[in-house]
Amino acid sequence: MARLMAGVWDRPVAIGMRPGGAGFRAAGVLLLALPFLPVATIFGPYADTRGLFGPAGWVLGSTIFATGAWLAGMLAPPRLLRALRRGGGALAVWLRPAALPLVLAATGTVLVTIAVVVFHCRPVMVDEIAQFFQARIFAAGLVKSLPPALPEFFTTQHLIVDEHGWYAQYPPGHSALLALGLWAGAPWAVPIVLSLGTIAVAVAFTRRIYDEAVAQLTAALFLLSPFFLFMGASFMNHAPTLFFVSLAMLAFVRWEETGGGRWPLLWGAALGAGFLCRPVCAFATGGTMACFALPEVLRRRRWADVGLAAAAFGALAGSLLAFNWATTGHPFLPGYIKLWGASHGLGFHESPWGERHTPWTGLGDQLLNLSMLNEYLFETPVPGLAAVGAFFALGLGERRWDRRLLLLFLSLPAAYFFYWHRDSYLGPRFVHTGLAFLLPLTARAVVGLYGAARRRRFQFGDFGRPVRLIDGLTILVTACLLYSLLVGMPSRFRIYQTGVPSMKVDLVAKARAQGLRSGLVFVAVAWGNRLINGLRAAGLSASATEKAYRRADHCVLEELLRQARAEGWSGARLEERVRQAASPTPLPAVNLNGDATLRLEPGSTLTPACTDEIAYDREGFTLFLPHLNVNRPTLDGPWVVATDLRERNAVLRARYPELPAYLYRGERFLPLD
């Protein structure tokens, strides 16, 4: 900001058209127009767009801020604007030597605050919890844990219990890093360290492809991006992926500059490490970098470098095959497919949850991700992608790396176009890895727009005096910065701080506060959780269970489950009966017990068993998932936490006669003896 105020980039920029420029201009126009298009209405409905800016909100916010910047530029005394520019210049000179250390220190402070205050240093989402459980398995010196003797009490989404063991469905990279944090006593610090490393690496490669000014602005944008900050303080696997992809980017830039064997090795190793965390992200970005490298390889016959990069990538990525072999029993059978079936893979087909993924839904998902990024990126009423969009729409993105960064960023939505799932936990997370390219490109776009605005003035008809575009841009950027710091980021902080409180409960701390030192704790859960656990234990696959839960009357499922237990049905027979009971479309949710996912056929009559289940839920329930990691992976600690399955609890109690048994309900531990 100090450099902007000083007019450091107050240089003329020629606007021309290089070959292929029309396509990049079209991409810029799309990025500019996207927030003003009713994407959610066209492709939706989407539940996660509620409360976000819509087209009308973007029009209003952009109009107010742009008009305000113009009026302020027109009304502000020229002497004041000149003084601000001089002050900005002095501040820029004073801060320059310590710019990156200051940004890293400030970012580290913010990340630690978010981790402690918002997330309570805990994983709070199912993906995080499952991968943290795998990390605890690694920290115990194991690849997988022994399967529980009674898996019905410990069934959770994204964890596999089979003849091979108990383990998570995910690639092992992120969990291995968290295991290092467990050994150090601070697993929550792992993503923070990697996020700070991302800034340092991104600034390093930005300095080489552009200049020092753009690099320093890139560092500032990382600090000012709530999307980067909140994800970077979480237990999600996006933070390590972003770091490794950024490191691969630096290695690629250095390889193009200098050659040498170490840079291809680092490039391949970094992509391999990213592949162990999020394979699609590493494949998309690494494949795009490889396309950039191909002309250089062919022209100078640098096949040895290709071999080094491939060897380094294979050495790390190949460990995924070993992990698969040790867990699922086959090197080419990942946990995702083992748990959910082939429908979990990329392509256009029915998803494991029973929804059709088509090119239309894929397009809508990725356009929505890009549209949502306009809000989550900087939390201002002016779209976050506006600078990049305007930069390319005006034909300013003429440099090689301008276009490369845009293509690298867009490679992610292009790859996830073929993936059936999307969500927006902490933002449009499937494009989070793209921040490695988007934030340097945004810094470059701001610089380019300032250069293009030199000696240009704007006047609305005959009203008032002309306004220098540089002054207007500076005022607009300053207003957006102040809004983000004073309104946008604090608001997002409060939303995440107060959200999902049941996922942030420290069960052991609550137990000790009530004078308990050990125990077998049954967590009272909703009827739907008990039903899912029962169906899985009876032999129904994860995919079939998920489809049935969405499309079948839960009372019918309860009766089928009881009949299957009584008559000893096989899993195949139960699956066939459940399939016959399912509706072609999801049933409407009803709220008879406080569970918004309960589904009953309209007009149906509840059986006595179902009435009893609903009555039991009305006494109170919570979630088992956030308390999974109280357990040791070997289930032999002073605390064993399990799902409350009512009368079936006696079976598990018989295996732990030395532990006092409690029912956890309503934040109280009720003795069962």
Would 665 be classed as within a structural domain? Answer: no
The verdict on 303 and 436 lying in the same domain is: yes
3-state secondary structure of 47: helix
Domain boundary, last residue among 474, 497, 520: 497
Distance CA 621, CA 639 (A): 20
Instruction: Check residue 563 and give its pLDDT.
Output: 94
Instruction: Check residue 462 and give its pLDDT.
Output: 63
The verdict on 169 and 195 lying in the same domain is: no
3-state secondary structure of 635: coil
Encode 344-398 in three state secondary structure.
Answer: HCCCCCECCCCCECCHHHHHHHHHHHHHHHHHHCCCCCCCCCHHHHHHHHCCCCC
Here the contacts of 351-360 (C-beta below 8 Å, separation 24 or greater) are: 351/420, 351/421, 352/542, 352/543, 352/546, 352/547, 353/543, 353/546, 353/547, 353/550, 354/546, 354/547, 354/550, 354/551, 354/586, 355/420, 357/419, 357/420, 359/417, 360/43
Please choose, from the candidates 327, 324, 307, 326, the residue with its C-alpha nearest in 3D space to the C-alpha of residue 315. Answer: 307
**Mean pLDDT on 159-178:** 95
Would 419 be classed as within a structural domain? Answer: yes
Q: Which residue has the higher pLDDT, 49 or 132?
A: 132
Query: Strand 661-665 vs strand 165-168: parallel, antiparallel, or unpaired?
Result: unpaired
The verdict on 139 and 173 lying in the same domain is: yes
pLDDT at 296 over 90: no
Ordered strands of the 668-671 beta sheet: 639-643, 519-523, 661-665, 668-671
The verdict on 277 and 132 lying in the same domain is: no
Asked if 426 contacts 114 with a C-beta cutoff of 8 angstroms, the reply is no
The two structure tokens encoding residue 162:
């089979």
The verdict on 98 and 219 lying in the same domain is: yes
Please name every residue paired with 356 in a beta bridge, in sequence order, or none if there are none. 350
Helix axes 571-581, 542-551, angle to 10 degrees: 30
Q: What is the pLDDT of residues 113-130, one digit of tens each?
A: 999 999 999 999 999 999
Query: Strand 519-523 vs strand 661-665: parallel, antiparallel, or unpaired?
Result: parallel
How much of the chain, in percent, has pLDDT values that exceed 70? 96
Instruction: Check residue 589 and give its pLDDT.
Output: 83
Domain holding 587, by residue range, is 530-604
Q: For residue 20, how far is the Cα from the chain centroid?
A: 33
Q: What is the CA radius of gyration of the chain?
A: 28
The verdict on 433 and 576 lying in the same domain is: no
Q: What is the pLDDT of residues 565-620, one digit of tens each?
A: 999 999 899 999 999 988 888 888 888 888 989 999 888 889 999 999 999 999 99
The verdict on 454 and 377 lying in the same domain is: yes
Q: Which helix (H) or strand (E) holds 335?
A: helix 335-340
Instruction: Check residue 461 and give its pLDDT.
Output: 62
Distance CA 257, CA 252 (A): 9
Cis peptide before 295 (omega within 30 of 0): no
The two structure tokens encoding residue 540:
């129904």
The two structure tokens encoding residue 439:
């934030």
Distance CA 549, CA 551 (A): 6
The two structure tokens encoding residue 525:
């859960």
Count how many residues are written for the chain: 673
Would 200 be classed as within a structural domain? Answer: yes
The verdict on 541 and 394 lying in the same domain is: no
Q: Which helix (H) or strand (E) holds 597?
A: none
pLDDT at 330 over 70: yes
Alpha helices in 514-553 (DSSP H): 527-537, 542-551
Asked if 510 contacts 626 with a C-beta cutoff of 8 angstroms, the reply is no
Domain boundary, last residue among 167, 184, 201: 184
pLDDT at 513 over 80: yes
Would 543 be classed as within a structural domain? Answer: yes
Instruction: Output b/e per residue, 278-288; b: 16+ Cβ within 10 A.
Output: bbbbbbbbbeb
Asked if 126 contacts 159 with a C-beta cutoff of 8 angstroms, the reply is no
**Mean pLDDT on 321-333:** 95
Q: What is the dihedral of CA 428, 429, 435, 438, to 10 degrees?
A: -30
Asked if 399 contacts 424 with a C-beta cutoff of 8 angstroms, the reply is no
Q: What is the pLDDT of residues 11-51, one digit of tens each?
A: 444 444 565 688 999 999 999 999 999 999 999 788 888 88
The rounded mean pLDDT for the chain is 91
Would 502 be classed as within a structural domain? Answer: no
Please choose, from the candidates 111, 119, 132, 239, the residue with its C-alpha nearest in 3D space to the C-alpha of residue 178. Answer: 132
Asked if 593 contacts 618 with a C-beta cutoff of 8 angstroms, the reply is yes
DSSP 8-state assignment for residue 517 = -
The verdict on 419 and 450 lying in the same domain is: yes
Would 472 be classed as within a structural domain? Answer: yes
Backbone angles phi, psi at 522, to 5 degrees: -95, 120
Distance CA 160, CA 559 (A): 26
The secondary structure of 390-431 as a DSSP string is HHHHTT---SHHHHHHHHHHHHHHHHHTT-S----TTS-GGG
Per the structure, the count of domains in the chain is: 3
Q: How many CB atoms lie within 10 A of CB 315?
A: 13
Please choose, from the candidates 196, 243, 231, 220, the residue with its C-alpha nearest in 3D space to the C-alpha of residue 118. Answer: 231
Instruction: Check residue 12 and give its pLDDT.
Output: 42
| Sign of the torsion formed by the C-alpha atoms of 437, 440, 446 and 450 | negative
Distance CA 166, CA 143 (A): 9
Instruction: Check residue 15 and give its pLDDT.
Output: 45
| Sign of the torsion formed by the C-alpha atoms of 465, 468, 469 and 475 | negative
Query: Tokens 């200049």 appear where?
Result: 211
Q: How many CB atoms lie within 10 A of CB 580?
A: 10
| Sign of the torsion formed by the C-alpha atoms of 647, 652, 657 and 660 | negative
Would 620 be classed as within a structural domain? Answer: no
Asked if 216 contacts 100 with a C-beta cutoff of 8 angstroms, the reply is yes
Instruction: Check residue 358 and give its pLDDT.
Output: 96
pLDDT at 463 over 90: no
Q: What is the pLDDT of residues 58-104, one digit of tens each?
A: 999 999 998 888 888 788 887 787 777 777 777 777 677 788 899 99
Encode 156-203 in three state secondary structure.
Answer: CCCEEEECCEEEECCCCHHHHHHHHHHHHCCCCHHHHHHHHHHHHHHH
**Mean pLDDT on 184-203:** 97
**Amino acid code (one letter) for 60:** L
DSSP 8-state assignment for residue 633 = T
Distance CA 144, CA 161 (A): 10
The two structure tokens encoding residue 199:
């800034």
Domain boundary, last residue among 585, 604, 623: 604
The verdict on 474 and 344 lying in the same domain is: yes
**Mean pLDDT on 544-554:** 92
In this prediction, residue 464 has a pLDDT band, given cuts at 50, 70 and 90, of low
The verdict on 25 and 88 lying in the same domain is: yes
Please name every residue paired with 166 in a beta bridge, in sequence order, or none if there are none. 145, 161
Would 610 be classed as within a structural domain? Answer: no
Q: Which helix (H) or strand (E) holds 21?
A: helix 21-33
Asked if 10 contacts 450 with a C-beta cutoff of 8 angstroms, the reply is yes
Model confidence pTM above 0.75: yes
Please choose, from the candidates 341, 327, 416, the residue with its C-alpha nearest in 3D space to the C-alpha of residue 373. Answer: 416
The verdict on 419 and 537 lying in the same domain is: no
